[in-house]
Homo-oligomer: A and B are copies of this chain.
Amino acid sequence: MFTAETKVRVRYAETDQMGVVYHSNYFQYFEVARAEAIRDLGYTYADMEKEGIMMPIVEVQAKYLRPAFYDQLLTIKAILKELPVNHKIEFHQEVFNENAELLATGRVVLYFMDMKTKKRHSMPESLLEKIRPFFH
């Protein structure tokens, strides 16, 4: 299993008139956590796009258990439960507030795709090498 976590502070812009974070903004937090997870491995998603591979999102899911509020410093986790195979990668995601209460869980499925041909592509070997050690 590979787990990474990052902190995100809630912006005023991300709240809605219910006084809580608008539900779809969690997907931006998830994005930040995935990017930091990849950076922790010594790689960046930005690099991957420069190499001609992009990662469109094909499926998402989220459950909202407790609200997140303005200015809270959230902890966002990105978890790989299985070593990705072929062109598909599945992240599990969790959001905690400063009291370590679980606010939300998510699941995000992405494909590796060749930017030019728009066809599915296997995970870049350079990234796979860095992830593999976590799955023994």
Q: Given A15-B17, A70-B17, A27–B24 Cβ distance below 8 Å? A: yes
A13 CB-CB contact with B under 8 Å: yes
Does A44 lie at the interface of the complex (its beta carbon under 8 Å from any beta carbon of B)? yes
Q: How far is the CB of A74 from chain B (nearest CB, A)?
A: 14
State how many copies of this chain the complex holds: 4
> Whole-angstrom distance from the CB of A14 to the nearest CB of chain B?
8
Closest Cβ–Cβ distance, residue A32 to chain B (whole Å): 6
Contact of A88 with B by CB under 8 A? no
- A67: nearest chain-B partner, CB-CB: B56
Interface residues of A in 17-63 (CB under 8 A from B): 17-20, 22-25, 27-28, 31-32, 35, 44-46, 49, 54, 56-63
- A: interface residue count bin: 35 or more
Q: Does A16 contact B (CB under 8 A)?
A: yes
Residue in B closest to A56 when the chains form the complex, CB atoms: B18
B23 and A17 form a contact (CB under 8 A): no
Given contacts A24-B24, A60-B61, contact A71 B15 (CB under 8 A): no
Known: A12-B35, A13-B28, A18-B54. 15 other contacts (CB 8 A): A11-B28, A12-B17, A12-B31, A13-B16, A13-B22, A15-B17, A17-B20, A18-B56, A23-B57, A35-B71, A44-B71, A56-B64, A58-B64, A60-B60, A60-B61
